[in-house]
C-alpha cells in the first residue's frame, strides 16, 4: 500500500473529513471508505469495502481523477469492482481496473459499460455549470471520454460476494434504471443503497426509469429496514437513516399509482418531501417531456 499523499488525498477516519484536489475520502467505520467527488453537483460517492482477503469497490466515479491509484493507497488486498449501474457518474474509472480485477455489472448494464461515454456527453456532464470548483490541473476537458470496460461477471441479484470476514449480498433494485444493484452487509447491518435511496432528488424521470419497478424495489428494501443500522448512498449526505426508505417507498408508490407531481420544471415533474424530492416524467402530469 503506497502513501496516499502521493495522490493528494487526505484520509480521515470516523466520519471526519477534509477536502483535497478532487476526491474526498473518509472512513465512517472500520472496513469502509467513502470516496466522494465533492466538486461536482452530483457529489457522487463510491465505496471501498475491505475484508480480510479481498475488497470490493462499489462504483468507480466520474473518471475525472485516478480512482484506481487512490484505492491502491487504501488497501493491499485484491480489489473487485461492482458497478451498481451503468450511468456515467458510476463507471468513470472501471476501465482502469481491466485485467487486474473482476468487474461486475447487471446484464442490463453490460452494453453501456462496454460502450463507455463519448466526448460530447462528457463535456456536457463536466461543463462549468455542473462544477462546484475547478477540474484537476492537467485534466483534458476538450477530449475527455469514459473508455468502455469489459465486465468479467454479470450479476442478476441474489449473489453473495465473500470478502473474507465480510459478505455482501447483491440485490437487483430496478426503477431508477433497469440495471441498478445494491449491496447488503447483513452481518454488519449496513446497506449500500447506491441510487435506489438517498436524501436528495430521486431520479425517476430518466428514459430507463420505471416507477412501478422502483416502488417494488423500495418495498424490498423497506422490508430490510429492521435489520439495517446504516445506509450508505451514492449521492447526498452519507450515511442516511434507514427510516427514510419506507417514506421514499410511499412517495414512489403514490406516483406509480397516478399521483401527479406538485409542479413541472425543465420538462420534469417534481414533488418535494421533507428529506428528499421525487422527479418523474412530465407526461405523468399530462405534459410532454424530452427527458
**For 129-177, what is each residue's pLDDT tens digit?**
999 999 999 999 999 999 999 999 999 999 999 999 999 999 999 999 9
**Predicted local confidence at residue 283, as pLDDT:** 79
- CA dist 58 and 155 (Å) reads 13
Cα 230 to Cα 28, 126, 274, distances in angstroms: 10, 31, 19
Across the range 221-240, mean pLDDT stands at 98
- Residue 25 φ/ψ, nearest 5 degrees: -120, 135
**For 196-217, what is each residue's pLDDT tens digit?**
999 999 999 999 999 999 999 9
Least confident of 20-29, 51-60, 101-110, 256-265: 20-29
**Predicted local confidence at residue 11, as pLDDT:** 45
Neighbours of 49 (CB within 10 A): 26
- Which is higher by pLDDT, 152 or 20? 152
**Predicted local confidence at residue 163, as pLDDT:** 99
Share of the chain above pLDDT 90, in %: 88
Q: Which residues lie below 8 Å from residue 225, measured CB to CB, with a gap of 6+? A: 242, 243, 245, 246
Compute the mean pLDDT over every residue in the chain, rounded to the nearest whole number: 92
Question: Per-residue pLDDT for 6 more than 90?
Answer: no
**Predicted local confidence at residue 284, as pLDDT:** 65
Per-residue pLDDT band for 286 (boundaries 50, 70, 90) equals low
**Predicted local confidence at residue 18, as pLDDT:** 35
**Predicted local confidence at residue 282, as pLDDT:** 85
Question: Per-residue pLDDT for 19 more than 60?
Answer: no
pTM over 0.85: yes
Share of the chain above pLDDT 70, in %: 90
Nearest to 166 by CA among 28, 76, 51: 51
Nearest to 121 by CA among 146, 139, 140: 146
Question: Per-residue pLDDT for 289 more than 60?
Answer: no
CA atoms in the 13 A half-sphere facing the CB of 93: 25
Amino acid at each position: 500500500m503506497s502513501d496516499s499523499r502521493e495522490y493528494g488525498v487526505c484520509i480521515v477516519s470516523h466520519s471526519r473529513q477534509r477536502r483535497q484536489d478532487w476526491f474526498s475520502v473518509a472512513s465512517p467505520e472500520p472496513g469502509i471508505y467513502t470516496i466522494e467527488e465533492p466538486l461536482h453537483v452530483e457529489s457522487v460517492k463510491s465505496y471501498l469495502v475491505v475484508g480480510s482477503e479481498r475488497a470490493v469497490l462499489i462504483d468507480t466515479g466520474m473518471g475525472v481523477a485516478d480512482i484506481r491509484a487512490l484505492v491502491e493507497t487504501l488497501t493491499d488486498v485484491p480489489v473487485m469492482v461492482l458497478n451498481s449501474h451503468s450511468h456515467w457518474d458510476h463507471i468513470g474509472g472501471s476501465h482502469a481496473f481491466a485485467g487486474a480485477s473482476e468487474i461486475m455489472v447487471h446484464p442490463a448494464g453490460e452494453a453501456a459499460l462496454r460502450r463507455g461515454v463519448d466526448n460530447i456527453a462528457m463535456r456536457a456532464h463536466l461543463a462549468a455549470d455542473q462544477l462546484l470548483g475547478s477540474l484537476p490541473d492537467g485534466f483534458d476537458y476538450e477530449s475527455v471520454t469514459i473508455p468502455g470496460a469489459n465486465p468479467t461477471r454479470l450479476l442478476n441479484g441474489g449473489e453473495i460476494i465473500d470478502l473474507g470476514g465480510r459478505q455482501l449480498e447483491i440485490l437487483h433494485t430496478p426503477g431508477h434504471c433497469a440495471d441498478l444493484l445494491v449491496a447488503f452487509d447483513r452481518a454488519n447491518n449496513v446497506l449500500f443503497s447506491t441510487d435506489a435511496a438517498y436524501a436528495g432528488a430521486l431520479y425517476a424521470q430518466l428514459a430507463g426509469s420505471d416507477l412501478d419497478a422502483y416502488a417494488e424495489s423500495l418495498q424490498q428494501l423497506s422490508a430490510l429496514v429492521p435489520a439495517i443500522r446504516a445506509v450508505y448512498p451514492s449521492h447526498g449526505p452519507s450515511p442516511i437513516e434507514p427510516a427514510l426508505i419506507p417514506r421514499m417507498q410511499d412517495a414512489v408508490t403514490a406516483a406509480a399509482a397516478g399521483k401527479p407531481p406538485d409542479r413541472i420544471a425543465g420538462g420534469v415533474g417534481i414533488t418535494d418531501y421533507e428529506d428528499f424530492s421525487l422527479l418523474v416524467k412530465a407526461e405523468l402530469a399530462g405534459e410532454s417531456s424530452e427527458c
